[in-house]
């Protein structure tokens, strides 16, 4: 694993703060360095070491072929933020305190047929595919889930008259409306 130099970390941070996509060639250019200036710790290896760390949170990468000016090509990794579509819904807890999350809000999660889990934190409950450490919850036959009052209370979502559900392709985040937070 390559050691990430402070100047490379700063360039990465600049791209991440601006939520921009970038490739290793961009970092070489920003630093004004030749490709093999540091043969023992090349910048492209520093980038690969930084990928998946707190320097590049939520970034993905893919292998791309670039056509360069003058007719050449370059194979390199492109680091980018995925564009995720989300939808927001407002749900009202039942009179007994349970929260029904319908199939429409669960989106792809309801269609996968996989066990679901609840990740609880203060004023937020995240519904995602089940993995160790999550509270398991079952889909009903009509593709919805019912979150018990006890669980709503653990997530500090037991008081409001409305809960905001933000649906992503891989999870649903339940939280308080902004005016209540």
In a domain, 180, yes or no: no
pTM over 0.85, yes/no: no
CA 14 vs. chain centroid, Å, equals: 19
Taking the CA of residue 167 as centre, how many other CA atoms within 13 Å lie in the half-sphere pointing to its CB?
15
CATH at 149: 3.40.1550.20
Domain boundary among 39, 55, 80: 80
Shared domain for 69 and 48, answered yes or no, is yes
Give how many domains the chain has, as a whole number: 2
Burial class (CB within 10 angstroms; exposed 0-12, middle 13-18, buried 19+) of 34: exposed
d(CA 47, CA 166): 32
Domain boundary among 30, 45, 80: 80
What is the residue-level pLDDT of the chain in tens, covering all 181 positions? 678 999 999 999 999 999 999 998 899 999 988 776 677 888 888 998 898 788 998 888 899 998 988 888 988 899 998 877 889 999 999 999 899 999 999 988 887 777 888 998 888 999 988 877 778 888 888 888 999 999 998 888 887 789 999 998 888 999 988 755 5
Shared domain for 15 and 67, answered yes or no, is yes
Shared domain for 74 and 102, answered yes or no, is no
Q: Please, what is the end-to-end C-alpha distance for the chain in angstroms?
A: 42
Shared domain for 171 and 110, answered yes or no, is yes
Shared domain for 94 and 163, answered yes or no, is yes
Shared domain for 109 and 144, answered yes or no, is yes
Decide if 11 contacts 31 (C-beta within 8 A). yes
Helix (H) or strand (E) holding 48: helix 43-50
Domain boundary among 25, 60, 80: 80
Q: What's the token pair of residue 31?
A: 């630093």
Shared domain for 22 and 58, answered yes or no, is yes
Which domain covers residue 70, as residue numbers?
6-80
d(CA 76, CA 123): 42
């Amino acid at each position: 694993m390559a050691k990430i130099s402070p100047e490379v970390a700063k360039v990465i941070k600049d791209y991440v703060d601006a939520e921009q996509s970038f490739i290793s060639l961009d970092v070489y250019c920003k630093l004004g360095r030749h490709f093999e200036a540091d043969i023992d710790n090349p910048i492209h290896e520093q980038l690969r070491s930084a990928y998946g760390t707190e320097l590049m949170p939520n970034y993905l990468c893919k292998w791309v072929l670039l056509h360069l000016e003058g007719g050449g090509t370059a194979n390199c990794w492109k680091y980018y933020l995925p564009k995720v579509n989300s939808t927001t819904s407002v749900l009202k807890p039942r009179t007994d305190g349970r929260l029904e999350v319908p199939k429409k809000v669960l989106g792809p999660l309801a269609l996968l047929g996989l066990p679901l889990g609840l990740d609880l934190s203060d004023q937020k409950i995240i519904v995602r595919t089940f993995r160790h450490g999550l509270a398991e919850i079952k889909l009903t036959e009509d593709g919805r889930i019912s979150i018990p009052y006890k669980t709503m209370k653990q997530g500090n979502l037991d008081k409001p008259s409305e809960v905001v559900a933000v649906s992503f392709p891989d999870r649903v985040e339940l939280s308080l409306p902004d005016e209540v937070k």
